[in-house]
Structures are given as C-alpha cells and as structure tokens.
Structure 1
Amino acid sequence: MIKAIAVDKDGTFLRSDHTFDEAHFEKIFNELMAKNLKFIVASGNQYAQLRSIFSGKEEAITYVAENGAVTYFNDEIIASHYFERELILDLLHTIIHDYKVNDIVLSGIKSAYINQDSSEEFIEFIKHYYYDIEKVADLKQVGNDYFVKVALRIKDEFKVKEVIAGLEETFAGEVRAVTSGNDSVDLILPEVNKGVAIQTLLTQWGLKNNELLAFGDANNDLEMLALTEHSYAMEHCSSELAKVAKYRAPSNDESGVLQVIETYLKR
C-alpha cells in the first residue's frame, strides 16, 4: 500500500509551460489527504518558489527543496545542509575565473543571489525556479545567509560536461554536480540529494521504502527513484533515470503524474 508520494516539479509535475491541471490536482489532493497519505514536492528549486505554486498547503505538503539540501514543513525548516563559506568562495572563484560562467545563482536560505549585471533573459529564465531573487555587485561578498546550492546555466552541452568533470575533480569529496534539465547544473554537497532527504522523512514517519510512490525526469531524481519499487520516470526523461525507474509515466504535458496517482487511488 502506498502511504507517501514524492514528485519532482519541472519536467515531471508541471507541464512544459510551467502550469498544471489545478482542478484535477485539487480533486486528487483532497483524496490523498482523506486517506492520510503524505505528499512530498522534491525539487532543485527554491522553497519560496515551490510554496508559491501550492499556496495555502504548507500544513499538508512536505517540501524537499534545493535538491535535498533543505526540507520544510509548515513553513519551518526541519532538515538542512549548508556549505562552509570558504568552500563557496573557492567554488565561485573557479566557476567565474576558470570556466568563465556568468549565469550563476547562489542559493541561500533567505534568498537567491545573482550578479547585478545579469541579463534580463537570464532573470526571466530563473524566475521559473526562484521566487525570492536579489541582485548583488559581487556574489563572493554576500553575507548573513547560509548557502545550500550553486546553480549554473550553461547552454553548450559540451561545456556542461567539461565543467562538471572539472569541478568534481577539483573539489573531489566536497562538491557534487548534477544536471536538472534546461541547461542547468546544480552544485551541491556530496551527501545531499533528494533520496537522502526523503529516506530521512520515511524513517521519521515510520514508513517502509516500498510504501513510497516517486516520480522524476532528470538525473537529480536518481536517488529518489532508487528508493522504491514504485518508481516512475516520465515519458521524456534522461537515459540514466530510465534505467533506474521501474515504470514509465505518461508525459508531463499529459498530466502523467496525476494519471498514475489516480490509478493507485482506485486500487
């Protein structure tokens, strides 16, 4: 029996235009709550952005944000993993000076920080993933916050591979790079991922792994889907995730997540 459901957001729960069938979701969500099922939104996105999509459900949804770095329930942090400041400074220096990457988001608990000279096109792009955004003159000078992730947008797929390989070699054992789709690379702590965060929740709730239903589409969902035999990769997903998932769900543009959940509710 399924007792918890974990869904990725972009490319999984949301359609390509960043919308979802709200009426259909509301109907299913009410059924989930009536059956006392846990609902987890697990994403690389900022918590404030995730909360804005499911407004008014803070007391019913558990949010695993920033690829597992921070977990929230009822608007409070219940688990978190932060970078040491010295590591963040070294990482930013390498990204900016060695790899010449300028489209950077420094994710903190209070806000997401970007360079003040960031292009309007980049700002519009990240608004789909971050709700609280602050422009700063120098990312390395940002203080009075705890940092959980560094996100990069790199449009050249060959440079993506170069940057990931280079950073994981330079910062071996200190930083892990994962792709989350849409030309995005997330730099997180090695012990951080959605799977670890959700496993912690399942343990706290006294649930078994095979009581979890999980959905994803990208490599930052690998550990989450590996937790359970009830794992679904979306129709359009990474080749690596397709190998890990037990099943395939219809496209996110066809509300594939809601279709599958509905079949479980009917059992």
Structure 2
Amino acid sequence: MSDYKVLFLDIDGTIIKPDDTIEETTVNAIRQVQEKGIEVFLATGRPLHEIRDLAKELNVHSLIGYNGAFAIYQGKDLFQEPMNMESVKQFIDIAKKNQHELVLYTKDQNLFTDLETDCVKEFIEKFHLHKNDSYSPSEDYEVLGMTLINLEPKDVALYKQEDQIHLSQVNLEGMFHCYDVIRDQVNKGIGVQYVLKHLGHKKENAIAFGDGMNDKEMLLSVGEGFAMGNGHPDLYQYAKHKTTSVTDSGIYNGLKTLGIIE
C-alpha cells in the first residue's frame, strides 16, 4: 500500500446524499482512515461558518472552504484569499441587470442580493444556511466566495468578464440554476497544493473525492482522485478513478479499492 497521508473530501453530493443524510458506510470509512493516521480535510464550496456542526459530527478538524479561499488545519487558520472587490462589484452589476440573485460569502456571513425571492429562500433551505443578511453596497466586505442563483445555461456567457474567473454549475438536483464563481488561482486544487506543501507531503500521498466541476482542480492535485458515480459528466476525464455514487457507498468503495479500509 502506498504511503497515504491526507484525504480531501467534498461535502455535497460526496459525503451528503440528496436527502441531506450521510450513509453509515461513509462515517465508518472516515473513522477507519483517521484511525490509520491519515489527516482528513473537508473541502467545499460552502462557507466554513456553515459546516462546523458537520465537521464536529465527523470529528474532522481541518477544512478548506469557499472553493479554496480559506483553510483551517487542526483548528488553526492556514490561509485566506479574499476576492478583488472590483470583480465582485462587476458580478453584482451584471446580476442586477439580468434579474439574477447572488450570495457573497465572508468569513462570518452569507450576504444575499435579495433575501425575499423564492430561489434564494430555496437555496438557503437546501444548504441549511443560518448566518444570512442582505448585501449593502455601502459596506466594505472581505468576500471569500460567491454563488450566482437563478441562471439559465445561456446566461453563463454574461459573466465572462475576466480571464481569471469562471463559473462552475452546482451539481445538485434542483440547484442546477446555481453557479459557483471560481478563480483560476484560488480554487480547491490550489488549496490542496498549499496544504500539501505546508504539511510536507507529496501529491502521491494524497487522495480526494468529489462530484462537481468545482472539484476538477482538486482531483488533479492529488495522486488518487475519485469522481463520484453521481458526478457531473464532464468531471470524469479529470479523475484517475470513478467510484460508486454518494447513495451507494462511494467514498467507502473507493478507499477500499486502495486497500486503506476493510
């Protein structure tokens, strides 16, 4: 067996099933990995202030959030990369002109352009977001990430204002109209690379599981990248392995093929 040191796990569609539950095999797999001394990171597009309970439930103390803009290792801040506010304001202006909604994630809050629209209420309910407020143009925020809401596929082209930013469709049933804003130089893959360098591990020592296109860079940044069976069709070309779906012990089965767990 290779000398695996760290495991990176996406949350939605990878750990959490569509009905918002977690399979016992997933919990068991994470526990077995930890017992072998392998460090587990949750690596998500979600803001870190909204996943504390899940991390506690899984006994995980290392996190990468906001699609790679903020990381915590063993409970201590590792790095933080806020977005350029000019870029943020451009996206807000485009959203406003096209009747799209947008959520800005800071270290402590989720700031929505309009909290009263049905699509925003649905988004908040789906992702169990609690620290919500309205965005105020007069405030000076440090924005770590953004998600656009209520887009048609054709609308993606409206936001191609910068070469260094692209949109990634949220890979969840009922949420396909939502797109994460991903920076080319700040994403899950860059976050993983930073963590590996900080811990003194090589790419070959790392494993990752994901299901969405925001996981692409992460899967390419580890030695053993697994795309979930329920993953976005375009993701498989970037993964070394394809495992079963989140509802069919995907993480457990993937780790078993590596000989890490029983």
* TM-score normalized with structure 2 length: 0.87
Report the more deviating stretch, 178-187 or 48-57. Answer: 48-57
1:186 has 2:180 as partner: yes
Gaps of 5+ in 1: none
Q: Given that residues 46 and 131 in structure 1 are in contact (C-alpha distance below 8 angstroms), is that contact kept between their aligned partners in structure 2?
A: no
Q: Distance in 2 between matches of 1:52 and 1:35?
A: 24
Q: Distance in 1 between matches of 2:224 and 2:138?
A: 45
Quick one: which of 231, 245, 252 aligns to 1:237?
231
Greater percentage in helix? 1
1:141 has 2:131 as partner: no
Aligned to 1:100: 99
Q: Given that residues 213 and 235 in structure 2 are in contact (C-alpha distance below 8 angstroms), is that contact kept between their aligned partners in structure 1?
A: yes
Aligned to 1:247: 241
Gaps of 5+ in 2: none
Q: Distance in 1 between matches of 2:57 and 2:250?
A: 24
Matched residue of 2:170: which SS? strand
Computed over aligned residues only, the root mean square deviation of the Cα atoms, in angstroms, reads: 2.3
Quick one: which of 121, 129, 132 aligns to 1:131?
129
Aligned to 2:163: 172
Matched residue of 1:96: which SS? helix
Matched residue of 2:14: which SS? helix
Q: How does 1:29-40 map to 2 (within 5 A)?
A: 29-40=30-41
| Percentage identity across paired residues of the two chains | 20
Matched residue of 1:67: which SS? coil
Aligned to 1:261: 255
Aligned to 1:12: 14
Aligned residues: 255
Q: How does 1:158-237 map to 2 (within 5 A)?
A: 158-159=154-155, 163=156, 165-168=157-160, 170-173=161-164, 175-181=165-171, 182-183=175-176, 184-237=178-231
Tell me how far 1:70 sits from its aligned partner.
0.8
Q: Distance in 2 between matches of 1:226 and 1:130?
A: 29
* TM-score normalized with structure 1 length: 0.85
Aligned to 2:111: 113
Q: Distance in 1 between matches of 2:180 and 2:198?
A: 27
1:74-117 Cα distance to aligned partner (Å, 9 max, x none): 444211111233332232112212x321x211111121111354
Aligned to 1:77: 77
Q: Given that residues 48 and 130 in structure 1 are in contact (C-alpha distance below 8 angstroms), is that contact kept between their aligned partners in structure 2?
A: no
Q: Distance in 2 between matches of 1:27 and 1:130?
A: 24
